[in-house]
A and B are shown apart, each in its own frame.
Chain A
Amino acid sequence: MNRAWTMLLALVTGSALADEAQVHLKDGPGKALVEANCSMCHSLDYIPMNSPFLDRKGWEASVTKMIKAMGAPIREQDVGAIVDYLNANYGKR
């Protein structure tokens, strides 16, 4: 993508940003970290949509993919708490 060119164009993200505020994740330790990190690039409904069928290893693989493949700037010391939250609240039952 040509960034300079894209800068000239209006962004149409407004409506989706307003609507995604409807997504409320379950309360639990690590929720704030998950919200802050995951919502940098995507709405949080990706999490409940992918539940409840991933075990801890599955959620770990998803977080690792976001860091390694998608370049998410998640601090290494936060990864454990993020995976714990996802597994505890949206993990396989």
Chain B
Amino acid sequence: MNTDRRSFLVSASRLALAGALPIAARADSSQLGPSTLPEGTLESARLAVLPGKVSLIKKTWRPPNFETPVEYFRHAFTPNDAFFVRYHLAQIPEVSAQTWQLRIGGDALDKAQTLTLAQLRGEFEPVEINAVCMCSGNRRGLFVPHVPGVEWGYGAMGNARWKGARLKDVLGRAGVQKSAVEIAFDGADGPVLDKTPDFVKSLPIWKAMDENTLLAYEMNGEPLPHWNGYPVRVVVPGWTATYWMKHLTSIQALSAPFKGFWMSTAYRIPKGIFPVVDRFLTQETETNTPITEMVVNSLILTPTSGSQLRAGDTPEVAGVAWDGGAGIVSVDVSPDGGQSWHAAELGDDLGRFSWRQWRYRVPAVRPGSMEIMARATNRVGSSQTAQLLPNPAGYHHNVMQRVSVTVS
């Protein structure tokens, strides 16, 4: 690819300055997400700072759910202190790396054991992988009709370089038996009430044993931020972040499907409506199945909705595109609401689980209004949808964006 990565970054930093965020909690509503979010979502959102983070878009205080302002996505990698925060349950301990232990057990394991952080770092080959971490419900707030949940805009995602041990290496040492069908994960965070189901997730054994699935202790070259799972989180490249267990404390090899609320009831999609490849057969029912990999998607970062251009300008349309791990092969841009499409130039290929930057320069624009769209396509020929595929929990929103700008 014949792209000058530096110029991507230079134009990115210039734009980031133009869109610099104020410290104040009260913000122009456009800084709190797209205007199509529910009215109450925009009214109750704030720009706010969690310890160790920059100002992010607060959706809920407790448990903390904070979204990344999209300006940060102009970087190839999302800064740790701007990375989104998502918790289900409000009891969130600050874990000490010195006393942290990972318990490995389950009925389908040869020998239960524990690992310290030093062991995880020192006794297993370190692996680094670039991967998008995206909440299953990213863009839920854009569903029409709206569905209940955390009403995310575009920012419940980020791209990072993760470093850790392969889960398969850790499981291999402990000896997973042939009877294992799922690997279950628990983290240190938990519910306020004993009766509330703890957040426990499982992966099918084949995905757990995938060489790309990591127990990560670094993110972008630094220890994980507290709010992103310090000291160790599961990284499941390609799959939505519900499986990326934060503050990991326990791994169980199971000979029967895990039946907790967060597997059996939550994070499910209707069968057959999405173009997903990965299946989680031990958890499928007649009608629904757990969410698995991300669907192909893109985000237009510039120009922003409502921008004013002048006749003769040649605006650059730029953004990022990603999918569930097949890899992005093309992004097409339409400057005219979908009438004509033009191939965008792709940025560096940072790996098939990373997002890919792209840009397209529109020829001299004429006065009037313009509707800019983008459509990403992956290596297996999947593309974005024109119409929302409704589902009760509001997952897999990959409807092509329409960014309106005016030219005077």
Taking beta carbons and an 8 Å cutoff, which residues of A are in contact with B?
1-3, 5-6, 8-13, 15-17, 19-20, 22-23, 40-43, 45-46, 48-54, 58, 62, 69-73, 90
Stretch in B142-150, B279-287, B300-308, B347-355 with 4+ CB within 8 Å of A = B142-150
Contact across chains for A49 and B195 when beta carbons are under 8 A apart: no
Contact across chains for B148 and A58 when beta carbons are under 8 A apart: yes
Give the number of chain B interface residues (Cβ < 8 Å): 51
Contact across chains for B40 and A51 when beta carbons are under 8 A apart: yes
Contact across chains for A49 and B60 when beta carbons are under 8 A apart: yes
Interface contacts beyond A1-B249, A69-B265: sample of 7 additional A-B pairs, CB < 8 Å, sorted by A: A15-B50, A19-B48, A19-B58, A50-B40, A50-B148, A70-B191, A71-B195
Q: Cα distance A11–B188 when bound, in Å? A: 11
- Residue in contact with B188 in the complex, picked from A1, A16, A22, CB distance below 8 Å: A1
Q: Cα distance A11–B148 when bound, in Å? A: 29
User: Most A CB atoms within 10 A — which of B93, B94, B194, B250?
Assistant: B93
Q: Cα distance A69–B194 when bound, in Å? A: 12
Q: From residue A76, how far is it (CB to closest CB) to chain B in Å?
A: 15
Q: How many A-B residue pairs have CB under 8 A?
A: 125
Q: Which residues of A contact B41 (CB under 8 A)?
A: 48-50
Q: Which residues of B contact A19 (CB under 8 A)?
A: 48, 58, 61
Q: Does B197 contact A (CB under 8 A)?
A: yes
Contact across chains for B186 and A62 when beta carbons are under 8 A apart: no
Q: Which residues of B contact A62 (CB under 8 A)?
A: 148
Contact across chains for B187 and A43 when beta carbons are under 8 A apart: no
Q: Cα distance A80–B228 when bound, in Å? A: 38
Taking beta carbons and an 8 Å cutoff, which residues of B are in contact with A?
38-41, 43-46, 48, 50-51, 58-64, 90-96, 99, 103, 145-146, 148-151, 186-198, 226, 249-250, 261, 265
Contact across chains for A90 and B193 when beta carbons are under 8 A apart: no
The B interface is mostly helix, strand or loop, or mixed, namely loop
Q: From residue A24, how far is it (CB to closest CB) to chain B in Å?
A: 10
Contact across chains for B92 and A11 when beta carbons are under 8 A apart: yes
On whether A53 and B146 interact (CB within 8 A), knowing A13-B62, A42-B63, A42-B90, the answer reads yes
- Residue in contact with B189 in the complex, picked from A1, A16, A54, A72, CB distance below 8 Å: A1
Q: Which residues of B contact A20 (CB under 8 A)?
A: 61-62
Contact across chains for B51 and A15 when beta carbons are under 8 A apart: yes
Contact across chains for A73 and B43 when beta carbons are under 8 A apart: no
Q: Cα distance A67–B100 when bound, in Å? A: 33
Contact across chains for A51 and B99 when beta carbons are under 8 A apart: no
On whether A71 and B188 interact (CB within 8 A), knowing A11-B94, A12-B93, the answer reads no
- Residue in contact with A1 in the complex, picked from B43, B46, B198, B261, CB distance below 8 Å: B198
Q: Which residues of A contact B46 (CB under 8 A)?
A: 22
User: Can you name 9 A-B pairs with beta carbons within 8 Å?
Assistant: A1-B190, A6-B93, A13-B62, A22-B46, A41-B90, A42-B63, A45-B60, A70-B195, A72-B196
Contact across chains for A17 and B62 when beta carbons are under 8 A apart: yes
Q: Which residues of A contact B99 (CB under 8 A)?
A: 8
Contact across chains for B187 and A1 when beta carbons are under 8 A apart: yes
Q: From residue A11, how far is it (CB to closest CB) to chain B in Å?
A: 6
- Residue in contact with B145 in the complex, picked from A45, A51, A53, CB distance below 8 Å: A53
Q: Which residues of A contact B194 (CB under 8 A)?
A: 71
Q: From residue B295, how far is it (CB to closest CB) to chain A in Å?
A: 24
- Residue in contact with A9 in the complex, picked from B94, B145, B250, B265, CB distance below 8 Å: B94
Q: Which residues of B contact A41 (CB under 8 A)?
A: 90, 191-193, 196
